[in-house]
A = this chain, B = another copy of it.
Amino acid sequence: MTRIPVAVLGATGAVGQKCIALLAGHPWFEVAQVVASAERIGLRYGETVRWRETTPLPADVASLTLSAAEPQPGIRIAISALDASVARDVEPLFAAAGVIVVSNASAYRMADDVPLVIPEVNASHLRMVQRQRATRGWTGAIVANPNCSTAAFITAVAPLHREFGIRRAVVATLQAASGAGYPGVPSLDLVDNVIPHIGGEEEKITAECRKLLGDIDDDEASAANIDVSPMVHRVPVLDGHLVSASLEFEREVTPAGATHVLQSFRAEDRVAHLPSSPERVIEVDSREDRPQPRLDRDRGRGMTVTVGRIRPCPVFHLRLVALGHNLVRGAAGAAIQNAELVTAVKL
Protein backbone atom coordinates (compact mmCIF):
# COMPACT_ATOMS: atom_id res chain seq x y z
CA MET A 1 0.00 0.00 0.00
CA THR A 2 1.30 3.42 -0.93
CA ARG A 3 1.58 5.91 1.87
CA ILE A 4 0.26 9.45 1.55
CA PRO A 5 3.03 12.02 1.14
CA VAL A 6 2.89 14.77 3.76
CA ALA A 7 4.85 17.96 4.32
CA VAL A 8 6.15 19.00 7.72
CA LEU A 9 6.34 22.77 8.14
CA GLY A 10 8.77 24.01 10.79
CA ALA A 11 10.49 20.66 10.63
CA THR A 12 13.66 21.48 12.56
CA GLY A 13 12.06 22.82 15.76
CA ALA A 14 11.10 20.79 18.81
CA VAL A 15 7.54 20.09 17.63
CA GLY A 16 8.70 19.48 14.07
CA GLN A 17 11.25 16.92 15.26
CA LYS A 18 8.61 15.21 17.37
CA CYS A 19 6.35 15.04 14.28
CA ILE A 20 9.10 13.36 12.30
CA ALA A 21 9.84 10.95 15.15
CA LEU A 22 6.15 10.03 15.47
CA LEU A 23 5.73 9.62 11.71
CA ALA A 24 8.54 7.06 11.48
CA GLY A 25 6.81 3.88 10.35
CA HIS A 26 3.40 5.58 10.20
CA PRO A 27 0.95 3.26 8.44
CA TRP A 28 -0.71 5.98 6.34
CA PHE A 29 1.72 8.86 5.98
CA GLU A 30 5.23 9.35 4.72
CA VAL A 31 7.24 12.54 5.15
CA ALA A 32 7.88 13.76 1.63
CA GLN A 33 8.62 17.45 2.15
CA VAL A 34 10.32 19.32 4.97
CA VAL A 35 10.11 23.08 5.28
CA ALA A 36 12.19 25.24 7.61
CA SER A 37 13.35 28.82 7.70
CA ALA A 38 14.76 30.42 4.57
CA GLU A 39 18.43 30.16 5.45
CA ARG A 40 18.22 26.36 5.52
CA ILE A 41 16.67 25.90 2.06
CA GLY A 42 18.73 23.49 0.03
CA LEU A 43 20.39 21.81 3.00
CA ARG A 44 19.73 18.19 3.77
CA TYR A 45 17.57 17.73 6.83
CA GLY A 46 20.06 15.38 8.48
CA GLU A 47 22.88 17.88 8.09
CA THR A 48 21.15 20.91 9.49
CA VAL A 49 18.86 19.62 12.22
CA ARG A 50 20.12 19.45 15.79
CA TRP A 51 18.23 16.22 16.40
CA ARG A 52 17.20 15.94 20.04
CA GLU A 53 14.73 13.09 20.01
CA THR A 54 15.92 9.90 21.70
CA THR A 55 14.78 7.74 18.80
CA PRO A 56 17.08 7.81 15.78
CA LEU A 57 16.45 10.27 12.97
CA PRO A 58 14.85 8.20 10.17
CA ALA A 59 17.29 7.86 7.28
CA ASP A 60 14.70 8.71 4.61
CA VAL A 61 13.90 12.02 6.29
CA ALA A 62 17.56 12.78 6.97
CA SER A 63 18.20 12.69 3.23
CA LEU A 64 15.36 15.10 2.31
CA THR A 65 16.36 18.56 1.16
CA LEU A 66 14.72 21.46 2.96
CA SER A 67 12.43 23.29 0.59
CA ALA A 68 10.89 26.72 0.33
CA ALA A 69 7.49 27.31 1.91
CA GLU A 70 5.32 26.17 -0.95
CA PRO A 71 3.75 22.79 -1.46
CA GLN A 72 5.59 20.28 -3.63
CA PRO A 73 3.53 18.48 -6.30
CA GLY A 74 1.51 15.66 -4.82
CA ILE A 75 1.34 17.04 -1.29
CA ARG A 76 -2.22 17.08 -0.01
CA ILE A 77 -1.53 17.26 3.72
CA ALA A 78 0.84 19.51 5.64
CA ILE A 79 1.54 19.26 9.33
CA SER A 80 2.43 22.68 10.61
CA ALA A 81 4.77 23.09 13.55
CA LEU A 82 5.50 26.69 12.63
CA ASP A 83 5.72 29.61 15.02
CA ALA A 84 2.51 31.62 14.97
CA SER A 85 4.13 34.62 13.31
CA VAL A 86 5.31 32.53 10.37
CA ALA A 87 2.22 30.34 10.27
CA ARG A 88 0.09 33.42 9.68
CA ASP A 89 1.56 33.83 6.19
CA VAL A 90 2.61 30.33 5.24
CA GLU A 91 -0.41 28.25 6.16
CA PRO A 92 -2.83 30.16 3.88
CA LEU A 93 -0.43 29.66 0.96
CA PHE A 94 -0.67 25.92 1.43
CA ALA A 95 -4.40 25.96 2.00
CA ALA A 96 -4.95 28.06 -1.12
CA ALA A 97 -2.90 25.57 -3.11
CA GLY A 98 -5.23 22.74 -2.14
CA VAL A 99 -3.36 21.41 0.88
CA ILE A 100 -5.07 20.57 4.15
CA VAL A 101 -2.92 22.13 6.83
CA VAL A 102 -3.25 20.51 10.24
CA SER A 103 -1.71 23.15 12.38
CA ASN A 104 -0.25 23.27 15.83
CA ALA A 105 0.28 27.04 15.54
CA SER A 106 -1.95 29.50 17.35
CA ALA A 107 -2.26 31.79 14.34
CA TYR A 108 -5.71 30.67 13.16
CA ARG A 109 -6.97 28.71 16.17
CA MET A 110 -9.53 31.27 17.17
CA ALA A 111 -10.62 32.24 13.64
CA ASP A 112 -14.38 31.90 13.21
CA ASP A 113 -14.14 29.53 10.29
CA VAL A 114 -11.23 27.39 11.45
CA PRO A 115 -12.11 24.23 13.37
CA LEU A 116 -10.15 23.74 16.58
CA VAL A 117 -10.22 20.00 17.01
CA ILE A 118 -9.35 17.28 19.47
CA PRO A 119 -10.69 14.21 17.64
CA GLU A 120 -12.01 12.51 20.78
CA VAL A 121 -13.76 15.74 21.85
CA ASN A 122 -15.22 17.59 18.87
CA ALA A 123 -14.51 15.86 15.58
CA SER A 124 -17.83 17.24 14.35
CA HIS A 125 -16.29 20.74 14.27
CA LEU A 126 -14.57 19.72 11.04
CA ARG A 127 -17.76 20.78 9.33
CA MET A 128 -16.63 24.37 9.74
CA VAL A 129 -14.23 23.73 6.86
CA GLN A 130 -17.09 24.04 4.37
CA ARG A 131 -17.66 27.61 5.42
CA GLN A 132 -13.90 28.22 5.53
CA ARG A 133 -13.55 27.09 1.91
CA ALA A 134 -16.57 29.05 0.80
CA THR A 135 -15.40 32.24 2.48
CA ARG A 136 -11.75 32.05 1.64
CA GLY A 137 -11.92 30.37 -1.72
CA TRP A 138 -9.51 27.65 -0.69
CA THR A 139 -9.50 24.14 -2.03
CA GLY A 140 -7.38 23.06 0.93
CA ALA A 141 -8.08 24.04 4.53
CA ILE A 142 -6.63 24.88 7.90
CA VAL A 143 -7.55 22.64 10.84
CA ALA A 144 -6.04 23.57 14.18
CA ASN A 145 -5.29 21.68 17.39
CA PRO A 146 -5.32 23.50 20.71
CA ASN A 147 -2.53 24.79 22.90
CA CYS A 148 -0.67 22.08 24.79
CA SER A 149 -2.13 22.70 28.23
CA THR A 150 -5.65 23.18 26.90
CA ALA A 151 -5.30 19.83 25.13
CA ALA A 152 -4.57 17.93 28.35
CA PHE A 153 -7.27 19.72 30.31
CA ILE A 154 -10.10 19.51 27.79
CA THR A 155 -9.36 15.92 26.79
CA ALA A 156 -9.68 15.04 30.47
CA VAL A 157 -12.82 17.00 31.31
CA ALA A 158 -14.85 16.91 28.10
CA PRO A 159 -16.68 13.72 29.17
CA LEU A 160 -17.52 15.39 32.49
CA HIS A 161 -18.81 18.42 30.64
CA ARG A 162 -21.04 16.24 28.48
CA GLU A 163 -22.45 14.52 31.52
CA PHE A 164 -22.61 17.18 34.19
CA GLY A 165 -22.03 20.53 32.46
CA ILE A 166 -18.98 22.48 33.55
CA ARG A 167 -19.83 26.04 34.47
CA ARG A 168 -16.64 27.40 35.96
CA ALA A 169 -13.12 26.13 36.49
CA VAL A 170 -10.05 27.46 38.24
CA VAL A 171 -7.08 25.72 36.75
CA ALA A 172 -3.40 25.68 37.70
CA THR A 173 -0.96 24.38 35.11
CA LEU A 174 2.54 23.07 35.81
CA GLN A 175 4.04 23.09 32.34
CA ALA A 176 7.14 21.35 31.06
CA ALA A 177 10.12 23.14 29.56
CA SER A 178 9.65 21.54 26.16
CA GLY A 179 6.47 23.57 25.77
CA ALA A 180 8.68 26.59 25.11
CA GLY A 181 10.61 24.86 22.33
CA TYR A 182 14.37 24.78 21.96
CA PRO A 183 16.47 26.57 23.24
CA GLY A 184 13.44 27.88 25.14
CA VAL A 185 13.75 28.37 28.88
CA PRO A 186 17.31 28.97 30.17
CA SER A 187 18.48 26.48 32.76
CA LEU A 188 19.37 29.43 35.02
CA ASP A 189 15.61 30.07 35.20
CA LEU A 190 14.56 26.50 35.92
CA VAL A 191 17.14 24.92 38.23
CA ASP A 192 15.77 25.28 41.78
CA ASN A 193 12.98 27.46 40.46
CA VAL A 194 9.54 27.76 38.91
CA ILE A 195 8.20 30.66 36.85
CA PRO A 196 4.57 31.70 37.41
CA HIS A 197 4.12 33.19 33.97
CA ILE A 198 3.99 32.11 30.30
CA GLY A 199 3.24 34.91 27.86
CA GLY A 200 -0.28 34.79 26.43
CA GLU A 201 -0.94 31.29 27.77
CA GLU A 202 -3.72 32.12 30.21
CA GLU A 203 -5.73 34.01 27.61
CA LYS A 204 -5.31 31.17 25.11
CA ILE A 205 -6.57 28.57 27.56
CA THR A 206 -9.63 30.59 28.53
CA ALA A 207 -10.59 31.17 24.91
CA GLU A 208 -9.77 27.73 23.51
CA CYS A 209 -11.76 25.92 26.19
CA ARG A 210 -14.89 27.77 25.17
CA LYS A 211 -14.37 27.01 21.49
CA LEU A 212 -13.49 23.32 21.94
CA LEU A 213 -16.55 22.57 24.05
CA GLY A 214 -18.85 24.66 21.87
CA ASP A 215 -21.68 23.32 19.75
CA ILE A 216 -21.65 23.15 15.99
CA ASP A 217 -24.77 23.93 14.08
CA ASP A 218 -24.99 24.31 10.36
CA ASP A 219 -21.22 24.75 9.95
CA GLU A 220 -21.13 27.42 12.64
CA ALA A 221 -19.65 26.80 16.02
CA SER A 222 -20.85 28.63 19.09
CA ALA A 223 -18.65 29.04 22.14
CA ALA A 224 -19.51 27.07 25.26
CA ASN A 225 -20.60 29.16 28.19
CA ILE A 226 -17.75 28.14 30.41
CA ASP A 227 -15.48 30.38 32.46
CA VAL A 228 -11.99 29.05 32.90
CA SER A 229 -9.45 30.88 35.03
CA PRO A 230 -5.95 29.53 34.38
CA MET A 231 -2.93 30.18 36.59
CA VAL A 232 0.09 28.98 34.63
CA HIS A 233 3.53 27.95 35.81
CA ARG A 234 6.67 26.72 34.10
CA VAL A 235 8.33 23.95 36.12
CA PRO A 236 11.61 22.00 35.82
CA VAL A 237 10.10 19.09 33.94
CA LEU A 238 11.13 18.05 30.44
CA ASP A 239 7.83 16.80 29.04
CA GLY A 240 4.29 16.55 30.35
CA HIS A 241 1.89 19.31 31.38
CA LEU A 242 0.07 18.76 34.65
CA VAL A 243 -3.23 20.55 35.21
CA SER A 244 -4.90 20.82 38.61
CA ALA A 245 -8.50 21.91 38.37
CA SER A 246 -11.32 22.94 40.64
CA LEU A 247 -14.58 22.50 38.78
CA GLU A 248 -18.11 23.82 39.20
CA PHE A 249 -20.84 21.84 37.46
CA GLU A 250 -24.42 22.52 36.45
CA ARG A 251 -25.61 19.17 37.65
CA GLU A 252 -24.84 17.15 40.74
CA VAL A 253 -21.68 15.12 40.60
CA THR A 254 -19.70 12.95 43.00
CA PRO A 255 -16.09 11.80 42.78
CA ALA A 256 -17.34 8.26 42.17
CA GLY A 257 -19.70 9.45 39.47
CA ALA A 258 -16.99 11.46 37.75
CA THR A 259 -14.59 8.55 37.96
CA HIS A 260 -17.14 6.28 36.35
CA VAL A 261 -17.77 8.69 33.50
CA LEU A 262 -14.06 9.07 32.78
CA GLN A 263 -13.34 5.37 33.00
CA SER A 264 -16.23 4.58 30.69
CA PHE A 265 -15.34 7.16 28.10
CA ARG A 266 -14.56 5.84 24.63
CA ALA A 267 -14.00 7.83 21.49
CA GLU A 268 -16.49 7.41 18.68
CA ASP A 269 -15.49 4.61 16.33
CA ARG A 270 -14.14 6.65 13.44
CA VAL A 271 -11.78 8.34 15.90
CA ALA A 272 -10.89 5.29 17.96
CA HIS A 273 -9.60 3.54 14.83
CA LEU A 274 -7.17 6.27 13.81
CA PRO A 275 -3.55 5.06 13.99
CA SER A 276 -2.54 7.67 16.59
CA SER A 277 -5.57 7.18 18.84
CA PRO A 278 -4.53 5.43 22.02
CA GLU A 279 -6.34 2.38 23.27
CA ARG A 280 -7.72 4.48 26.11
CA VAL A 281 -7.81 8.22 25.66
CA ILE A 282 -8.33 8.73 29.41
CA GLU A 283 -6.90 6.58 32.18
CA VAL A 284 -7.97 7.20 35.76
CA ASP A 285 -5.23 6.41 38.26
CA SER A 286 -6.48 6.03 41.81
CA ARG A 287 -3.09 6.15 43.54
CA GLU A 288 -3.01 9.17 45.81
CA ASP A 289 0.11 10.75 44.30
CA ARG A 290 -0.60 10.27 40.61
CA PRO A 291 -0.49 11.39 37.84
CA GLN A 292 3.14 12.48 37.74
CA PRO A 293 4.77 13.85 34.58
CA ARG A 294 7.76 11.55 34.44
CA LEU A 295 5.90 8.37 35.26
CA ASP A 296 2.71 8.93 33.31
CA ARG A 297 3.38 11.15 30.29
CA ASP A 298 4.23 8.28 27.93
CA ARG A 299 1.04 6.29 28.45
CA GLY A 300 -0.60 5.39 25.15
CA ARG A 301 2.60 6.51 23.41
CA GLY A 302 1.94 10.00 24.77
CA MET A 303 -1.65 10.24 23.54
CA THR A 304 -3.39 9.09 26.72
CA VAL A 305 -4.35 11.69 29.33
CA THR A 306 -4.08 10.44 32.91
CA VAL A 307 -6.51 11.74 35.53
CA GLY A 308 -6.12 11.35 39.26
CA ARG A 309 -6.99 12.76 42.64
CA ILE A 310 -10.69 13.11 41.85
CA ARG A 311 -11.90 14.53 45.15
CA PRO A 312 -14.49 16.93 46.56
CA CYS A 313 -13.74 20.65 46.57
CA PRO A 314 -14.46 23.05 49.44
CA VAL A 315 -15.22 25.82 46.95
CA PHE A 316 -16.69 24.20 43.84
CA HIS A 317 -17.76 20.60 43.29
CA LEU A 318 -14.72 18.60 42.33
CA ARG A 319 -10.97 18.84 42.22
CA LEU A 320 -8.84 16.66 39.95
CA VAL A 321 -5.42 16.45 38.35
CA ALA A 322 -4.90 15.76 34.63
CA LEU A 323 -1.66 15.08 32.83
CA GLY A 324 -0.86 14.98 29.13
CA HIS A 325 2.32 14.82 27.10
CA ASN A 326 2.62 18.35 25.81
CA LEU A 327 4.61 17.47 22.69
CA VAL A 328 2.43 14.50 21.74
CA ARG A 329 -1.18 14.87 22.94
CA GLY A 330 -0.56 18.63 23.11
CA ALA A 331 1.24 19.28 19.81
CA ALA A 332 2.81 16.85 17.33
CA GLY A 333 0.60 13.88 18.10
CA ALA A 334 -2.45 16.11 18.08
CA ALA A 335 -1.66 17.47 14.63
CA ILE A 336 -0.93 14.00 13.24
CA GLN A 337 -4.15 12.64 14.71
CA ASN A 338 -6.01 15.51 13.09
CA ALA A 339 -4.28 14.64 9.81
CA GLU A 340 -5.51 11.08 10.23
CA LEU A 341 -9.01 12.29 10.97
CA VAL A 342 -9.25 14.53 7.91
CA THR A 343 -7.96 11.60 5.86
CA ALA A 344 -10.44 9.15 7.33
CA VAL A 345 -13.41 11.44 6.74
CA LYS A 346 -12.10 12.43 3.29
CA LEU A 347 -12.35 16.12 4.12
A 288-318 to B, binary, CB cutoff 8 A, 1 in contact else 0: 1111111110100000000011000111100
- The residue of chain B having its C-beta at the shortest distance from the C-beta of A295 within the complex is B54
Complex Cα–Cα for A197 and B196 (A)? 19
Verify if A126 is at the interface (C-beta below 8 Å from B). Answer: no
Question: What residues on B are CB-neighbors of A309 within 8 Å?
Answer: 196-197
Nearest-CB distance from A192 to chain B (Å)?
4
CB within 8 Å of B: which A220-273 residues = 227-229, 231, 233, 235-238, 242, 244-246
- A316 and B52 contact, CB distance less than 8 A: no
Is A134 an interface residue, CB under 8 A from the partner? no
Query: B188 and A231: CB pair below 8 A?
Result: no
Q: Nearest chain B CB to A269's CB is how many angstroms away? A: 25
Q: Tell me if A185 is interfacial: C-beta within 8 Å of chain B.
A: yes
Chain B residues with Cβ below 8 Å from A206 are: 314
Any chain B CB within 8 A of the CB of A48?
Answer: no
Contacting B at CB under 8 A, from A140-188, are 168-170, 172, 174, 177-178, 182-188
Asked if A190 is an interface residue, CB under 8 A from chain B, the answer is: yes
Cβ of A246: which chain B residues have Cβ within 8 Å of it?
A: 170, 229, 231
Contact partner, A52, options B168, B188, B197, Cβ 8 Å: B188
Q: In the complex the two chains form, what is the Cα distance from A178 to B294 in whole Å?
A: 14
Residue A86 interfacial (CB < 8 Å): no
B289 engages A236 (CB within 8 Å): no
Contacts of A189 in B (CB 8 A): 187, 292
Known contacts A193-B292, A231-B172, A293-B193; A187/B236 CB under 8 A: yes
Q: Are A293 and B183 in contact (CB under 8 A)?
A: no
Residue of A186, A229, A291, A316 most packed against chain B (CB within 10 A) = A186
